[in-house]
């Protein structure tokens, strides 16, 4: 199994970076521009060699590469660490007292401003 990789490239000018960005995006990669001449790619399930060759063919120079932990990918993709659940919703001590719940008969006694 291929390990997910993050690779970062510098390009000689913004035109070359834009060309590489467009081709990578067209081929199903998910590139991101850091600035006009710096391109970042997460290679997950795609071919790492192709991504490297595309960037180098457009004048890109590899700056950095690293493996990505799969747990980080899932939490980043779905924003799992950004979901907050208040404790009062998690606890099972919700109101269970039926006398606090409104009855349909109680609803008819409300006046809506019309008589």
Q: Which pLDDT value is given to residue 44?
A: 78
The rounded distance, in Å, linking the Cα atoms of 115 and 103 is 21
Q: Which pLDDT value is given to residue 48?
A: 84
Unique residue bearing structure tokens 């493996």: 67
Residue 13 phi, psi dihedral angles, 5° rounding: -150, 170
- Cα 94 to its chain centre, rounded Å, is 33
Q: pLDDT tens track of the chain, all 115 residues? A: 467 788 899 999 999 999 999 999 999 888 999 899 999 898 877 788 889 899 999 999 999 888 766 545 555 555 555 556 555 555 555 555 555 555 555 555 555 555 5
Q: Which pLDDT value is given to residue 55?
A: 92
Q: Which pLDDT value is given to residue 85?
A: 56
Q: Which pLDDT value is given to residue 4?
A: 79
Per-domain boundaries in the chain: 5-81
**What distance separates the 2 farthest-apart alpha carbons in the chain?**
80
5-81: what fold? Answer: Alpha-Beta Plaits (3.30.70)
- Specify whether the CB–CB gap between 96 and 90 falls below 8 A: no
**Residues 6 or more apart in contact with residue 21 via CB below 8 angstroms:** 31, 33, 39
**What would the two tokens of residue 36 be?**
């006009």
């Amino acid at each position: 199994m291929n390990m997910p990789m993050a690779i970062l490239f510098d390009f000689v000018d913004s035109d070359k970076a834009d060309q590489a960005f467009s081709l990578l995006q067209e081929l199903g990669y998910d590139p991101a521009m850091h600035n006009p001449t710096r391109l970042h790619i997460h290679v997950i399930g795609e071919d790492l060699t192709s991504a490297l060759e595309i960037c180098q063919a457009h004048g890109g120079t590899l700056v950095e590469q690293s493996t990505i932990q799969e747990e980080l990918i899932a939490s980043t993709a779905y924003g799992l660490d950004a979901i907050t659940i208040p404790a009062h919703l998690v606890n099972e001590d919700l109101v269970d007292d039926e006398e606090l719940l409104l009855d349909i008969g109680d609803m008819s006694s409300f006046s809506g401003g019309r008589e």
